[in-house]
Structure 1
Amino acid sequence: MTAVRLSLTALASAFALIVTSCNVAMAQKTYDIGASDTEIKIGNIMPYSGPASAYGVIGKTEAAYFKMINAAGGIRGRKITFISYDDGYSPPKTVEQARKLVESDGVLLVFNSLGTATNAAIQKYMNEKKVPQLFVASGASKWNNPKEFPWTMGWQPSYQDEAHIYAKYIIKHRPDAKVAVLYQNDDFGKDYLKGLKDGFGDKASMIVAEESYETSEPTIDSHIVKLKATGADTFISIATPKFAAQAIKKAAEIAWKPLQFVSNVSASVGGVMQPSGFENTQDILSAAYLKDGADPQWNNDPEMMKFLAFLKKDYPDGNRLDGATAYGYAAAQTLVKVLEMCGDDLTRANVMKQAASLRGFTPDTLLPGITINTSPTDFAPIKQLQLMRFKGEKWELFGDIMSGDLSN
């Protein structure tokens, strides 16, 4: 009997040891460089200077948002260290800053860095290093290529989808239009121009003029004069904020009054429309996926009220009229969601796995009816927009939520 009791005791002890070991294994935390029990290091690259400096507001908004998250206890007790560098919208500088973030600062990931040409310059590097280049702040279609670039994911709607929507609208409502296009001579402008031509399809001859500009040019006035001379009655401006505002003002100055479209990246009331002079911006068209802080219809919207409360308490320098502020807030909110989904597995591979597992996620500043969805084969989180027209001192949404799918 004694031997039996001893065997049972030994068996119970062994079982307890196994259970304890399993619990320890289950509770084990897994980290890559840039993450620990107390910290998550996030890298970012923004044009705080240079021709696209208006977008620097995005990085400042994100810094304020992460500071708010830290003040509330962080993410599962871990505080975010947000390291954001200026690249002046210059690809060689972007490469330099990306290497610094990855090799010197040891960030877990690089988040929402801005620009098409700038991000294209570091895409191969980030993928070779297997460091997430997550929620790129650019609508280029190349960010949705998980097979070739599994460590790169976009965030906003693609430029091509947006261009398809404008082409659909023009074909339906102005079938005899003569379209002039101003575009930035880089990956951003060319990607968008391709979307326009694809959107027009066999009616691409409606585009009667294409004029490109360089970001190094101090002014694009001469390009607008040339486009007017073509007799075009419809004008699509594929430009970043500084140049979009110049285009609007110059068109007004030379009394050119075409039906005018501005790309979403330059639809900010505070960043483009107001500096252009509200008298010059009436009836301009664009498309949106974010709520406009200038639109009073959102004043009592529960989610928008959270955003406005954030501006008041955590980012008092933030301008509710600047679309870049709503953008930075929503992008930061999306990253926090992904990091929460990671739990205690804060590896780079798991960050990408969770980013590719978003279902029906809606940041506070996204328009109703638009949600974020991803999968291992779909790295395009936002795919819908709604057309809008500028009236008075704000945008007015109209029509249904649209996708850029040309098969519809």
Structure 2
Amino acid sequence: MIFRSSVLLVAALLAGPASAAGTNADVVRNLASRVGPIVGAASACQAIDQGRVQAIVDKFREVIREASAGASDRDELTRVFNGFVADGRNRVGASQTDCTTAGRQLAELERSLGQAAPSTSSSGFGGVIGSTPAAAATAPTATLPPTLASNVQGVTANEIRFGICGPFSGASRELGRQMKLGIDAAFNRTNDAGGVAGRSLRLFAADDGYEPSRTLEAMRQLYEKDKVFGFIGNVGTPTAAVGMPYALQHRALFYGAFTGANLLRNDPPDRYVFNYRASYAEETNEVVHYLLKLRRLQPRDIAVFAQQDAYGDAGFAGVSKAFRSLGLPDSAIVRFNYKRNTVDVDEAVNQLRAMKNPPKAIVMVATYRAAAKFIEKTRDQYPSMVYTNVSFVGSTELSDELMLLGPRYASGVIVTQVVPAVGGYSSAVLEYKSALEKYFPGEAPSYVSFEGYVAANVLIQALKRVGPQLDTEALIDTLENTRDVDLGLGAKLGFGRAEHQASHKIWGTALDERGKYQAIELE
């Protein structure tokens, strides 16, 4: 296999001239030992823009693909790289490397990569550091099959580009990282099997920090700079309120967003917007019925703890709708708020403590850190309180936060899910875990990454049905005629012209004293 000029140049910049004497794989292993710890340390630092880190990781994975003679080489090099990334992350956790040092090393790496000449190659690290004029002149030029030629943005003879806009920094960064992880696992699995009509699937990430004021810039970066074909897995409701109109304006696919808000579920549906997951209204409706029918609570016993934005509003509206559907007044529902991207829950806690007749259950529409902080500050005073959460909370991350506080904080906390339990043994779960272990060894299964994996696989099936002549309108038509997709979830998925939500299924789970989710019946 011809070793691409981009790999040789990066080796020269970072590994030194001596390392280039080895095999292609040897060069990449040496390079991984230098790049991996830097990006690993940077990924553990909240103050560092995770979009910068992810850009280097994505490019390095391209280098691995180019340097690999086959799947076994690629898997081995990926494991090596992931191991060095984990080492760098652990050093920060063990205080052996501080975030100031990590930021400086990342900046030095970026400066080194930015010193090279502009590139004519879009693969590997070439998109970041370029190739020398001499190398570009001597590099082989592939003749592409005319059947795969395309003038559609984000679709070339070799790849289909998608973008994800989400929090890769800030308090909710783990939601963005996990969503991307699941999509990447599905894409990598498909690419190893030959791709879609011979094209590889590639995911670009842009960080908006879960702040809608940054979302438009991130969307523009993906669509206008990275030239993506469409968007998949965007994270958040307030950010979707900005990102979705941008996608619609450009008639670009806005697919599988990590939100259950009704703003993505218009009637009739927006042509370019497709959802995998059940809505927040469906999740909170199930929870209200569960609390009233199975836990035998009275309506006055239920209150809401919600983020003070469109996400919290969507969840609260679902609780109100559930009350009305049961013929109950919704005007007396108490709502406690907190500010997005903070763990400042003191005002909500004080409002709860001031109530003469406090509720017996809290329906939480929050992210994992704020939810954990609220439980921490109220559990001892209200030991029998029932805490429920919608799936966006980040189930795995919530469990981790609560178990750090102690088993009594985690035990009994309920989360509704839009995918089956990741601790189960269904076909879908086993396939997902296998892909995660192969492409991201050391990463624990997560409900968020599992959702990303499932949503991506539904889209992949539609892409395969379209075939070589891919464009947005053909894909939309195909999605609207996708029926009865069986991924082993226990529920079939599909869309229609009047139905742009693939699944309405909701699973109930509750944490035990070990921080593990156990299935519970919601009805």
What is the aligned partner in structure 2 of residue 272 from structure 1?
398
Deviations 1:4-59 (A, max 9, x none): xxxxxxxxxxxxxxxxxxxxxxx797652111222111111120112211202111
What is the aligned partner in structure 2 of residue 389 from structure 1?
510
What is the aligned partner in structure 2 of residue 7 from structure 1?
none
What amino acid is the match of 2:429? M
User: Equivalent of 1:46, from 144, 166, 173?
Assistant: 166
8 Å Cα contact 2:269/2:499 also seen in 1: no
What is the aligned partner in structure 2 of residue 107 from structure 1?
228
What amino acid is the match of 1:127? L
Distance 1:336 1:168, change over 3 A: same
The CA distance in 2 between the partners of 1:260 and 1:239, in whole Å, is: 12
What is the aligned partner in structure 2 of residue 361 from structure 1?
485
What is the aligned partner in structure 2 of residue 10 from structure 1?
none
What is the aligned partner in structure 2 of residue 193 from structure 1?
316
8 Å Cα contact 2:418/2:451 also seen in 1: no
What is the aligned partner in structure 2 of residue 4 from structure 1?
none
The one of the two structures with greater contact order (alpha-carbon pairs below 8 A, sep at least 6) is 1
User: Equivalent of 2:470, from 343, 346, 349?
Assistant: 346
Segment of structure 1 superposing worse, 198-207 or 104-113? 198-207
What aligned pairs does 1:165-204 form with structure 2 within 5 A after superposition? 165-173=286-294, 174-177=296-299, 178-201=301-324, 202-204=327-329
SS of residue paired to 2:415: strand
Deviations 1:125-175 (A, max 9, x none): 211211111122211112122646321222211001111111222232324
8 Å Cα contact 1:31/1:347 also seen in 2: no
8 Å Cα contact 2:162/2:229 also seen in 1: yes
Distance 1:167 1:303, change over 3 A: closer
What amino acid is the match of 1:399? E
Could you tell me the percent identity over the aligned residues? 20
The CA distance in 1 between the partners of 2:456 and 2:269, in whole Å, is: 26
The CA distance in 2 between the partners of 1:41 and 1:102, in whole Å, is: 10
What is the aligned partner in structure 2 of residue 311 from structure 1?
436
The CA distance in 2 between the partners of 1:276 and 1:349, in whole Å, is: 45
The CA distance in 2 between the partners of 1:194 and 1:312, in whole Å, is: 39
> Going by fraction, where is strand more abundant, 1 or 2?
1
8 Å Cα contact 2:269/2:498 also seen in 1: no
8 Å Cα contact 1:58/1:324 also seen in 2: yes
The CA distance in 1 between the partners of 2:151 and 2:378, in whole Å, is: 54
What is the aligned partner in structure 2 of residue 93 from structure 1?
214
What aligned pairs does 1:212-231 form with structure 2 within 5 A after superposition? 212-230=337-355, 231=358
What is the aligned partner in structure 1 of residue 421 from structure 2?
292
> TM-score, normalising length from structure 2?
0.66
What amino acid is the match of 2:433? L
The CA distance in 1 between the partners of 2:469 and 2:438, in whole Å, is: 32
The CA distance in 2 between the partners of 1:111 and 1:391, in whole Å, is: 33
What amino acid is the match of 2:520? F
Distance 1:362 1:266, change over 3 A: farther
The CA distance in 1 between the partners of 2:513 and 2:160, in whole Å, is: 44
The CA distance in 2 between the partners of 1:148 and 1:380, in whole Å, is: 9
SS of residue paired to 1:346: coil
The CA distance in 1 between the partners of 2:329 and 2:286, in whole Å, is: 14
SS of residue paired to 2:178: helix
What aligned pairs does 1:246-261 form with structure 2 within 5 A after superposition? 246-261=373-388
User: Equivalent of 1:335, from 459, 470, 475?
Assistant: 459
SS of residue paired to 2:328: helix
Give how far 1:289 is off.
Answer: 3.0
What is the aligned partner in structure 2 of residue 127 from structure 1?
248
User: Equivalent of 2:367, from 240, 252, 275?
Assistant: 240
User: Equivalent of 2:499, from 371, 374, 378?
Assistant: 378
What aligned pairs does 1:69-84 form with structure 2 within 5 A after superposition? 69-84=190-205
CA RMSD of aligned residues (A): 2.3
The CA distance in 1 between the partners of 2:471 and 2:350, in whole Å, is: 53
The CA distance in 2 between the partners of 1:96 and 1:194, in whole Å, is: 29
The CA distance in 1 between the partners of 2:475 and 2:267, in whole Å, is: 14
8 Å Cα contact 1:342/1:354 also seen in 2: yes
Distance 1:28 1:69, change over 3 A: closer
Total equivalences in the alignment: 366
Distance 1:205 1:42, change over 3 A: closer
The CA distance in 1 between the partners of 2:402 and 2:354, in whole Å, is: 22
8 Å Cα contact 2:376/2:409 also seen in 1: yes
What amino acid is the match of 1:263? V
SS of residue paired to 2:263: helix
Give how far 1:377 is off.
Answer: 0.9
Unaligned runs of 5+ in 1: 1-26, 403-408
Distance 1:94 1:362, change over 3 A: farther
What is the aligned partner in structure 2 of residue 37 from structure 1?
157
8 Å Cα contact 2:162/2:231 also seen in 1: yes
Moved over 6 A (4+): 27-30
Segment of structure 1 superposing worse, 38-47 or 169-178? 169-178
SS of residue paired to 1:203: coil
User: Equivalent of 1:60, from 172, 181, 193?
Assistant: 181
